Amino acid sequence: MSIPRIPLGVWIETAIDFMVEHFAFATKAFSAVTESVLELLEKAMLAAPAWLLIAVFTLLAWKLSRKRGIGLFTLLGLCLIWNMGLWPATVSTIALVCIATLVAIALGVPLGIASALSQGVYRVVMPVLDVMQTMPAFVYLIPAIPFFGLGKVAAIFSTVVFAMPPAIRLTCLGIRQTPRELVECADAFGSTRWQKLVKLQLPMATPTIMAGVNQTVMLALSMVVIAAMIGAKGLGGEVWKAIQRLQMGHGFEAGIGIVIVAIILDRVLQRVGARQG
Amino acid sequence: MKKIEVKNLSKIFGPHPERAIELLEKGKGKDEIFAETRLSVGVDRAGFDVDEGEIVVVMGLSGSGKSTLVRCINRLIEPTAGQVFVDGVEVTALDAKGLRELRLAKMGMVFQNFALFPHRTVLANAEYGLEIKGMDPAERRDRAMRSLDQVGLAGWEDSLPSQLSGGMQQRVGLARALALDPDILLMDEAFSALDPLIRRDMQDELISLQGKVKKTILFISHDLDEALKLGDRIVLMKDGAIVQVGSPEDILTSPANDYVERFVAEVDITKVLTAESVMKKSETVGFLGHDGPRAALRKMKQHGISTLFVLDAQHRLAGLVASEDCAELIGRGERDLAPIVRTDIPCVAPDTPATDLFLTMSGNSCPLAVVDEGGRLKGVVVKGSLLGAIAERGRTQE
Ligand SMILES: Nc1ncnc2c1ncn2[C@@H]1O[C@H](COP(=O)(O)OP(=O)(O)O)[C@@H](O)[C@H]1O
Ligand SMILES: [Mg+2]
């Protein structure tokens, strides 16, 4: 006896088709806004001479991390990238990561707060996050295309989806970890829910939230590279091109560029996060 | 006047708590109810009240429901049944807003593990309640500084709690509660987390602070020494129910049942302690025929006392003079103390058991003279020091 095949794939396709059709106004708006913001950011960064931008980034890394070593690494790393002729690609990647991270945090932190405060939201959000985090990254590329077509906006969309879970999860965790006695104390002193959140829970959760932000940035970077497959360009695009043309050397150069950007972001964010604690 | 009234208050933890209330009414105990329903009885039909300006200590072993009881009073825990009144207002009937206002206006709370906000400075911690109240920053700072000063923490306002010792952290906790100037202080094992020496200091300070601020204090403790020392009255709890309410003397001398007796047994050195071991050396005495009323009055002033024992020429106890009588004597221009010496004062022998001292002392406000067979004054026993001494000895004999 043969068991009929469950048409899971068909259902998902139908659902996506339905959404593409009925939420076109939203996707179009998102598309238009992101595209122009991204373009603006990229153009602005490319308009400045590379040395100036490198100096700015070095200074930022140094001041934010308060570590000379990290500043020095930033300077040398970015100079190497520039020397390899990867500067425009790097700028494009940084712009993508910035925008995607901002959107992911802007959505993720409030969602994290909501799921920390409401058991109902928590019960819905957490299983969804579990699925999101176990799904292979490539899968997110697929729905992005029907909504936004090939290109940078689709890349940002899938990056946001991929990078958001840690922001939600760690915000929620940080707030829930506020010691019971402190919450009780805030209650005993007549605090409203909002006062409790602002005066106690968010400050207490800041180090954890920062750890989430750090992870979100790193995931965004890794996804932006993968999203080169749907037209994100940037450093990932260079790797993708190199793969298709079997240019091993160039591929590795771009890979090193990605590693340098990743190390700079990670170190700086870690130091900033540690200071919050 | 009754400040807090608790009537028939119960708290059951678990789903569908009504079932347990019924069983309680049928006279079943906490363990039976747990076995039958898996519900945990936190507080079992507790009823007591606290007068204005009084320190009531709720005492019981760990798990006896003290924390639950105190949290039901400001409704950090929602009671399952029963009522709580503060100043005649039914707290258990207030809505969320009314409850928040009541907590801010009347009830300060101090926690066992201090519950200081680690990201706020000492000053910002002390300001917390005022900030919630919406007071403007300048006034808030002012009041918080004053209450920090009150607990001896002036100069520490910019430190973080983590930089302070345990005792100092709890002072911040106390200052935070006092800053709101609430009528009532709820103190849940406020000193239990402190070292014994620091704890004793804090108890002394609370007593002296209470002398100035005159709050109504509900103090939770699992330590009988502490209860005896601080409490005007003691509420003893077991398995969520109140087993005895009474003055420290009542609890020590007439325990309501075995449970209280066993509790008291730990401190029951009353039987081995004698008048001699709990008395203080009399700081000063007057001498008949030598001291006039002015001299007697000066001696009393110097030592901050209102009565003075006087000895005769053979250094035997003649009696006691009171300051008001001395003053009258001076007014009349007389110089001899003899006419105002009260001789009908309570005296005990040095080997009188401490238990009997309570009986002799009750109804007497003047100190008790300890006199040997030869009629010589060996020392005095003051009410407060009697309890204090019992508590101290209890610890050193363990
Ligand atoms: N949140 C809770 N859920 C279930 N049972 C609880 C809860 N809080 C307290 N209890 C139970 O209530 C009883 C009294 O606890 P508590 O008031 O903390 O005692 P105490 O402060 O005297 O040590 C204990 O048996 C405890 O197990
Ligand atoms: Mg307790």
Structural domain contains residue B359: yes
**Chain B window 84-143: which residues touch A at a Cβ cutoff of 8 Å?**
100-101, 103-104, 107, 109, 111, 113, 115, 117-119, 128-129, 131-133
Which CATH number do you get for residue B352? 3.10.580.10
Structural domain contains residue B131: no
For the cut 60, the answer to whether the pLDDT of residue B393 exceeds it is: no
Cα separation, B179 vs B129, whole angstroms: 8
Structural domain contains residue B140: no
> What pLDDT is stored for residue B124 in this prediction?
96
Single out the residue in B241, B267, B293 at which a domain terminates: B267
Return the number of CB contacts < 8 Å for A and B. Answer: 52
Q: Average pLDDT across each block of 10 residues of chain A; the chain has 277 residues. List them in order.
A: 85 87 84 90 90 94 91 95 93 92 95 95 94 86 84 90 94 95 96 95 93 93 88 89 91 94 92 75
CA dihedral for B159, B160, B161, B166, sign (positive or negative): negative
For the cut 90, the answer to whether the pLDDT of residue B294 exceeds it is: no
Q: Are B46 and B241 in contact (CB under 8 A)?
A: yes
> What pLDDT is stored for residue A1 in this prediction?
65
Strands B347-348 and B241-246: unpaired
Pocket test for ligand 1, best of B16, B40, B76, B113 (most atoms within 8 A of CB): B40
Residues B234 and B341 in one domain: no
Which CATH number do you get for residue B58? 3.40.50.300
Cα separation, B192 vs B320, whole angstroms: 41
Confidence of residue B80 (pLDDT cuts 50, 70, 90): very high
Structural domain contains residue B37: yes
Would you state the CATH architecture of domain A8-276?
Orthogonal Bundle (1.10)
Residues B226 and B283 in one domain: no
For the cut 80, the answer to whether the pLDDT of residue B272 exceeds it is: no
Q: Are B61 and B238 in contact (CB under 8 A)?
A: yes
For the cut 50, the answer to whether the pLDDT of residue B231 exceeds it is: yes
pLDDT over 90, % of chain B: 49
Amino acid at A209: I
The DSSP output letter for B353 is B
Q: Are A104 and A166 in contact (CB under 8 A)?
A: no
Q: Are A74 and A264 in contact (CB under 8 A)?
A: yes
Q: How many helices (H) and strands (E) does chain A have?
A: 13, 0
Q: Whose CA is nearest to atom 14 of ligand 1?
A: B65
Nearest CB partner across the interface for A195, out of B113, B115, B132: B132
**Chain B window 65-84: which residues touch A at a Cβ cutoff of 8 Å?**
71, 74, 76
Q: Are A227 and A155 in contact (CB under 8 A)?
A: yes
To test the contact with chain A by mutation, choose from B119, B169, B220 the residue with the greatest count of A C-beta atoms within 10 A, namely B119
Single out the residue in B246, B267, B288 at which a domain terminates: B267
To test the contact with chain B by mutation, choose from A175, A180, A181, A189 the residue with the greatest count of B C-beta atoms within 10 A, namely A189
Cα separation, A240 vs A230, whole angstroms: 10
Q: Whose CA is nearest to atom 27 of ligand 1?
A: B63
Structure tokens that stand for B227 in this block? 């209860």
For the cut 90, the answer to whether the pLDDT of residue B373 exceeds it is: no
Q: Does A276 touch chain B (CB under 8 A)?
A: no
Residues B15 and B109 in one domain: yes
Average pLDDT over residues B99-121: 95
Structural domain contains residue B352: yes
> What pLDDT is stored for residue B392 in this prediction?
61
What is the A175 CA–ligand 1 centroid distance (Å)? 24
How high is the mean pLDDT of chain B? 87
Closest to B7 (Cα-Cα) out of B41, B61, B40, B43: B43
Cα separation, B245 vs B238, whole angstroms: 12
Give CA torsion, residues B244, B42, B18, B77, to 10 deg.
110
Contacts of A204 in chain B (CB under 8 A): 117-119
What is the A238 CA–ligand 2 centroid distance (Å)? 64
B88 vs B395, residue with greater confidence:
B88
Average pLDDT over residues B8-17: 94
- Nearest 5°: the CA angle B211, B214, B218 is 110
Amino acid at B273: L
Cα separation, B205 vs B220, whole angstroms: 17
Residues B239 and B374 in one domain: no
Q: Are A260 and A197 in contact (CB under 8 A)?
A: no
> What pLDDT is stored for residue B291 in this prediction?
84
Residues B257 and B324 in one domain: no
Using CA coordinates, name the residue in chain A closest to B109. Answer: A188
Q: Please answer yes or no on whether B128 and A181 come within 8 Å at the CB atom.
A: no
Measured in angstroms, the CA of B109 and the nearest CA of chain A are apart by 7
Confidence of residue B267 (pLDDT cuts 50, 70, 90): low
> What pLDDT is stored for residue B397 in this prediction?
45
Average pLDDT over residues B298-322: 85
Residues B208 and B303 in one domain: no
> What pLDDT is stored for residue B398 in this prediction?
41
Structural domain contains residue B13: yes
For the cut 90, the answer to whether the pLDDT of residue B144 exceeds it is: yes
Nearest CB partner across the interface for B111, out of A185, A192, A195: A185
Domain segments of chain A: what residues?
A: 8-276
pTM, entire model: 0.77
Using CA coordinates, name the residue in chain B closest to A181. Answer: B115
Structural domain contains residue B83: yes
> What pLDDT is stored for residue B369 in this prediction?
85
The count of domains in chain B is 2
Residues B354 and B380 in one domain: yes
Q: CB A70: neighbour CB atoms within 10 A? A: 20
What is the ipTM for the molecules in this complex? Answer: 0.79
Q: Does A198 touch chain B (CB under 8 A)?
A: no
Q: Are B311 and B317 in contact (CB under 8 A)?
A: yes
Could you list the residue range(s) of the whole structural domain that residue B292 is in?
276-393
Structural domain contains residue B130: no
Closest to B43 (Cα-Cα) out of B72, B86, B14, B23: B72
Single out the residue in B267, B298, B328 at which a domain terminates: B267
> What pLDDT is stored for residue B396 in this prediction?
47
In sequence order, which residues have a C-beta less than 8 Å from that of residue B131 and are 6 or more positions away? A199, B140
B11 vs B276, residue with greater confidence:
B11
pLDDT tens readout for residues B16-61 = 999 899 999 888 889 999 999 999 999 999 999 999 999 999 999 8
Average pLDDT over residues B202-218: 90
Closest to A141 (Cα-Cα) out of A219, A231, A234: A231
